[in-house]
Amino acid sequence: MLLLENITTLVTVAAPADPPSNSAIPIPHRAGSAMGELGVIRNGAIAVEGERIAWVGPTESANFPDAERIDCSGKTVLPGFVDSHTHIVFAGNRANEFAMRLRGATYQEIAEAGGGILSSMRSVRGSTVASLVAESLPRIRNAFRHGTTTLEAKSGYGLDTENELKLLHAIQQAAAQVPATIIPTFLGAHAIPPEHKASRQEYVRSIAEEMIPVVAEQGLAEFCDVFSDTGYFTVEESEQIYKAAAKHGMKLKVHADELSSFGGAEMAARVSAVSADHLLMISDAGIAQMREAGVVATLLPGTAFYLGLPFAPARKMIDEGMAVALATDCNPGSNMSENMQMTLALACMGMKMTVEEAITAATLNGAAAVRRSDQIGSIEVGKSADVAIFNVPDYPDIVYHYGVNQVEMVMKLGRVHRV
Ligand code: NIG
Ligand code: FE
């Protein structure tokens, strides 16, 4: 038994016992105004038995005389962040494109000139699984050091069967070497590869009929995602892919309404996706339909910041009762950052979310966005002992004093890592 005690501010983000009855999301989460409730315990304590949380309460009520103790006075403890949208496993680096954007080129212009996702595709096709793992591990460790205990990671830079499988194997092997939990997503539909420029329907067919069956059979991905946007996959193509994925038992995610108002949110509702992500250009109908269908709205303010685009309308979404999650989108083109603390700061300063809403979005609702909020995302008895310990006395300080790493220790499945 391990006891974290004298925690100056313990933020549990304890979920309502059952999902709110007026919400269509079938797993614990907080939607709308409930996102502002954090379940704070002052001078709190957490008892951990093995990999699980055994007890949570005020330090004065903790009665575990034989426990090993960690004094957390002066600290704030949060559930470990759940970064539910990343492209963190890739090869190479696109700093040259970043420099081009600073000189005025847009993300789309760079993509149309053969850069962007296709540039990372060339690097991945020239890599081995081992080199992909070696390049990605430092980034995954960086995420962990900044308080992320679970992260989702997408393929999508291989763009043919062999190289998509290579990326998914790299994700699987990297996951075995880090304390963080990694949830794999298949994103073969990230871009049309050059060899299919004149035969896009053939590429869509190969995703639906060749890649998805193999990925599902080998258990290499839990989710299937599609970049549904102008210049990428149409709504019709996306639905064809989702149909195949659902048939093979995969859960669905959508890159929706990032670069244009494309009907991505409406489609996410139609196909019963677990989450729709980005949503910078979401329509009013998209908000209503996602809420009714129980789709988590995952916002990635780092990407809007990095690309100089207008932020997603988070305020409107929360005020209209949606469940909003926050994630980094960590990738080599549109947001090269693993830092969830920075994501919180951007959510508050760029999207006018409150600190309470941002914390809920980065923990419990992030867990809902990967369908794991029955196991992770809040500090409650029976859940995984995944917590981040910050060297600040109160939770608003994490955003107030931004741009530096405030995490001092991370506990993953009951094991303490000093970072
Ligand atoms: O989420 N939108 C599509 N994919 C990524 C960008 C990937 C890249 O540029 O490498 C994103 O923004
Ligand atoms: Fe993305």
Average pLDDT value for the chain: 97
- Predicted confidence at residue 22, as pLDDT, reads 67
* Nearby residues for ligand 2 (ion, Cβ within 5 Å): 329
Name which residue sits closest to atom 12 of ligand 1, judged by CA: 334
The mean pLDDT of 181-190, rounded to a whole number, is 98
- 150 shares its domain with 9: no
Name which residue sits closest to atom 3 of ligand 1, judged by CA: 227
Name which residue sits closest to atom 8 of ligand 1, judged by CA: 333
Report if residue 374 sits inside a domain: no
Q: Which domain holds residue 73?
A: 2-79+379-418
- 50 shares its domain with 134: no
Report if residue 165 sits inside a domain: yes
pTM of the model: 0.97
- 322 shares its domain with 338: yes
- 48 shares its domain with 158: no
Ligand nearest to the backbone CA of 303 = 1
Q: Give the nearest ligand 1 atom to 120 CA.
A: 10
Ligand nearest to the backbone CA of 332 = 1
Residue 270 CA to ligand 2 center (angstroms) comes to 21
Torsion, Cα 162 163 169 174, to 10 degrees, reads 170
Residue ranges around ligand 1 (CB below 6 Å): 87, 116-117, 120, 227, 255, 258, 303, 329, 331-334
- 41 shares its domain with 114: no
What is the spatial distance between Cα 250 and Cα 244, in angstroms, rounded to a whole number?
9
Report if residue 146 sits inside a domain: yes
Beta bridge partners of 186: 224
- 71 shares its domain with 97: no
How far is C-alpha 212 from the chain's CA centre?
Answer: 22
Residue where the block lists tokens 């690309």: 307
Report if residue 164 sits inside a domain: yes
Helix, strand or coil, per DSSP, at residue 407: strand
- Predicted confidence at residue 21, as pLDDT, reads 59
- 304 shares its domain with 179: yes
Q: pLDDT per residue over 338-353, tens digit each? A: 999 999 999 999 999 9
Residue where the block lists tokens 């957390």: 72
Q: pLDDT per residue over 88-123, tens digit each? A: 999 999 999 999 999 999 999 999 999 999 999 999
Ligand nearest to the backbone CA of 101 = 1
Residue 106 CA to ligand 1 center (angstroms) comes to 13
Domain of residue 169, CATH code: 3.20.20.140
The mean pLDDT of 208-217, rounded to a whole number, is 98
Structurally, the chain folds into a number of domains equal to 2
- Predicted confidence at residue 15, as pLDDT, reads 72
State both tokens at 326.
Answer: 């926050």
What is the spatial distance between Cα 400 and Cα 390, in angstroms, rounded to a whole number?
13
What is the spatial distance between Cα 77 and Cα 149, in angstroms, rounded to a whole number?
13
Residue 222 CA to ligand 1 center (angstroms) comes to 19
What is the spatial distance between Cα 399 and Cα 419, in angstroms, rounded to a whole number?
19
Best of 190, 326, 335, 337 for a ligand 1 pocket test (most atoms within 8 Å of beta carbon):
190
Beta bridge partners of 57: 45
Report if residue 373 sits inside a domain: no
Residue where the block lists tokens 């699984």: 129
Q: Which of 14, 35, 21 is nearest to 322 (CA)?
A: 35
Instruction: Count Cβ neighbours within 10 Å for each residue of 277-299 and write b for 16 or more, e otherwise.
Output: bbbbbbbeebbbbbbebbbbbbb
- 201 shares its domain with 304: yes
- Polymer length of the chain: 419
- 7 shares its domain with 94: no
State both tokens at 29.
Answer: 């989460």
Report if residue 60 sits inside a domain: yes
State both tokens at 140.
Answer: 């995954």
Q: pLDDT per residue over 49-86, tens digit each? A: 999 999 999 999 999 999 999 999 999 999 999 999 99
State both tokens at 312.
Answer: 């997603």
